[in-house]
Structure 1
Amino acid sequence: MQHPANENRYNNMLYQRCGRSGIKLPAISLGLWHNFGSVDNFENGKSIIFEAFDKGITHFDLANNYGPEPGSAEENFGKILNKHLKAYRDEMLISTKAGYYMWPGPYGEWGSRKNLLSSLDQSLKRMNLEYVDIFYSHRFDPETPLEETMQALDHAVRQGKALYAGISNYPADKTREAESILRELGTPCLIHQARYSMFERWVEPELLDVLDKRGIGLIAFSPLAQGLLTNRYLKGIPEGSRMTRNHFLKNEHLTPEKLEKIKDLNAIAENRGQSLAQMAIAWLLKDPRVTSVLIGASSVRQLNDNLDSLNNITFDKEELDKIESILSRQ
């Protein structure tokens, strides 16, 4: 049964130009890294995707290894899309990636032409799609010539299996090289996906400047620093939180110094009438070089809470100075 999409779904979302391309992305995009795999509740994931689309989120971000188990997020998304949202395919931007470990043997990861193009075929099959809108090289491969990796992205676009090419987790110098190669091939680099938050600022200033000068959009992932930039850990580590069960966020990440920063940032957010998570998302969107912020969501309620960050994405100088003072403390 097709999902009856909200007729007013585009009324309140902010859409921003992606670099110098013809594409606009929603200011908030939905990532399916966690909560949409085979170990998760399928109906809950479906409800989140429906709500996201009904609220104007047009961009759904996946990768071949998302799950867990690897591949299962694409399989579940494909089931939801083809059964309930197929009529809206042309209103959606669907992205996937290849580069991290996916299958055994010498061709199951990194940036070879063999890996990227085989992985894309697998992703399309899992999602039952003819094409994705964006296909990313998920990480720079130091052992494969960059020309080979970029030629694979170019080939995917020329085959019609992807509409745009993107890169993720590339340092500034390799981003510059990758963009030049793609431009010479005739397939511009649309977008760079990078980890970026108040607590993770490696993109400043060099990568952001490269993207701006080269006309490439930036989509920021992990904007809440795996949940640290929320009110969840203000009073310690709650039972069942990501820190107690996920190897990506460990107890040692929550140092006493970081906890004090979180508390002080939370006070600023409260004065703005926002949650800390909402302020953290808004803080990223204050920079015009940031096209979109990629959020995860474990519930419809959490999704809508993050979307409410768009109600206030402006900061005065005093707020920015206070935030910078907190973040720069040792």
Structure 2
Amino acid sequence: MTYIADEKRYNSMIYNRCGDSGLLLPAVSLGLYRNFGEKTPFKTAEKLIEIAFDNGITHFDLANNYGEPNGSAEKLFGQILKKALNGYRDEMIIATKAGYDMWPGPYGDGGSKKYMLASLDQSLKRLDLDYVDIYYSHRYDPDTPLEETVSALGTAVRSGKAVYAGVSNYPVTVMREVIKLFKQENIPFIAHQPQYSMFLREPEQELFPLLEEMGVGAVVYQALFQGLLTTKYVDGIPRDSRLADQVDSISTDQLTEERTKKVLKLKEIASERNQTVAQLAIAWALKRKPVSSVVIGVRNIEQLNENIGALNNTTFSNDELLKIDRILA
């Protein structure tokens, strides 16, 4: 059966401008990290993408090393795009990244121009696309001059293989210089992608004020802190969870009694707002300038619908914010 997108797909999604650029991003974006790979049933992945798009999620976040094995998320998404959503390409923001280990030898990771441009070509082949909308340097490489990495992203944009440039996981200590270099090169640098959540608030101190000052948007990930900002782990570690399988970057020692108590207190506030803890955490992350979008990662349709439901209530009273700050303190 041929997929036809929901005519009302743009009615309920919130779109935020990404920094000072002309680009609007959906408040919730879909990240294709752990849940898309060779072991993922095609129909399952296809349905998730279609439902996301039907709900106004136009931004799909990838990287060269996403999926198991590396690159399989891009390949799977490319197949879905070609089979079901090919006619909707111009309604989508497709992002990918390069920076981590991808192939043997000295040119398979980092921030060199050699690696960044070779990786982009490989990503485009897996995606079966002529260009991506945002191409990110996935990590800061202290062994490569910033000028070289910025130049690589500039070449990607000027060649037509990317529309915008971004960085991810860069420390705030280098960001002012990074932004300066992009401006000197006249490259449309629009986004920084950092981790940010109720349990990881460091970006509020220096990074977010700098990005706001310089007109760069924040596209944040791990707003649910790998599931700890849900009630999933309140009564222990479920056998079928990623924490039990130890497949994510979070470990069991991060599931502390103190955090569990905080989640239970946050649940009280969420209930008063007619939200789950996950919805509260996403809505809370979105209130912080210059956050343009929260990247979510989901395993199933139920999680996807729950996360999108955060947008039903994104306003907070001063009293609610004070209560949340006291809980998180």
Same fold (TM over 0.5): yes
C-alpha distance after superposition, 1:43-69 (max 9, x if no partner): 111110000001100000000000011
Q: Give the SS at the match of 1:166.
A: strand
Q: How many positions carry a matched residue from both structures?
A: 328
The residue aligned with 2:251 is 250
Q: Give the SS at the match of 1:34.
A: coil
Return the letter of the residue paired with 1:9.
R
Mapped contact 2:66–2:74 kept (Cα < 8 A): yes
Return the letter of the residue paired with 2:239.
E
Q: Structure 1 length as normaliser, TM-score?
A: 0.98
Q: Give the SS at the match of 2:9.
A: coil
The residue aligned with 1:87 is 87
More displaced, 89-98 or 247-256? 247-256
Residues 160-239 of structure 1 correspond to what in structure 2 (within 5 A)?
160-239=160-239
The residue aligned with 2:274 is 273
More displaced, 250-259 or 68-77? 250-259
Return the letter of the residue paired with 1:113.
K
Return the letter of the residue paired with 2:313.
N
Tell me how far apart the structure 1 counterparts of residues 69 and 124 of structure 2 sit (CA, whole Å): 17
Please report the RMSD computed on the Cα atoms of aligned residues, expressed in angstroms.
1.0
- Please, which runs of 5 or more residues in structure 2 have no aligned partner? none
Q: Give the SS at the match of 1:116.
A: helix
- C-alpha displacement of 1:247: 4.0
C-alpha distance after superposition, 1:127-184 (max 9, x if no partner): 1000000000000000100000000000000000000000001111211111110110
- C-alpha displacement of 1:201: 1.2
Q: 1:182 to 1:4 in 2, by over 3 A?
A: same
Return the letter of the residue paired with 1:320.
L
Tell me how far apart the structure 1 counterparts of residues 95 and 66 of structure 2 sit (CA, whole Å): 12
C-alpha distance after superposition, 1:214-264 (max 9, x if no partner): 110101101100000001011111111111012422211111111111111
1:307 matched to 2:308? The reply is yes
Tell me how far apart the structure 1 counterparts of residues 134 and 77 of structure 2 sit (CA, whole Å): 16
**Which contiguous aligned blocks of 4+ residues in structure 1 show a shift greater than 3 angstroms?**
none
More displaced, 314-323 or 110-119? 314-323
Tell me how far apart the structure 2 counterparts of residues 30 and 161 of structure 1 sit (CA, whole Å): 22
Q: Give the SS at the match of 1:280.
A: helix
Q: Give the SS at the match of 1:195.
A: coil
Tell me how far apart the structure 1 counterparts of residues 134 and 270 of structure 2 sit (CA, whole Å): 34
The residue aligned with 1:286 is 287
Tell me how far apart the structure 1 counterparts of residues 50 and 290 of structure 2 sit (CA, whole Å): 29
The residue aligned with 1:120 is 120
The residue aligned with 1:262 is 263
Mapped contact 2:139–2:170 kept (Cα < 8 A): yes
Residues 12-161 of structure 1 correspond to what in structure 2 (within 5 A)?
12-161=12-161
Return the letter of the residue paired with 1:54.
D
Q: Give the SS at the match of 2:101.
A: coil
Mapped contact 2:38–2:67 kept (Cα < 8 A): yes
- C-alpha displacement of 1:188: 2.8
Mapped contact 1:242–1:249 kept (Cα < 8 A): no
- C-alpha displacement of 1:41: 2.1
- C-alpha displacement of 1:2: 4.4
Mapped contact 1:25–1:291 kept (Cα < 8 A): yes
Tell me how far apart the structure 2 counterparts of residues 108 and 65 of structure 1 sit (CA, whole Å): 11
Q: Give the SS at the match of 1:165.
A: strand
More displaced, 136-145 or 256-265? 256-265
Mapped contact 2:15–2:25 kept (Cα < 8 A): yes
Tell me how far apart the structure 2 counterparts of residues 229 and 42 of structure 1 sit (CA, whole Å): 29
Tell me how far apart the structure 1 counterparts of residues 157 and 164 of structure 2 sit (CA, whole Å): 6
More displaced, 278-287 or 2-11? 2-11
Percent identical among aligned pairs is 54
More displaced, 128-137 or 174-183? 174-183
The residue aligned with 2:241 is 241
Q: Structure 2 length as normaliser, TM-score?
A: 0.98
C-alpha distance after superposition, 1:76-131 (max 9, x if no partner): 00000011111000000000000011111111111000110000000000010000
Tell me how far apart the structure 1 counterparts of residues 250 and 6 of structure 2 sit (CA, whole Å): 36
- Please, which runs of 5 or more residues in structure 1 have no aligned partner? none
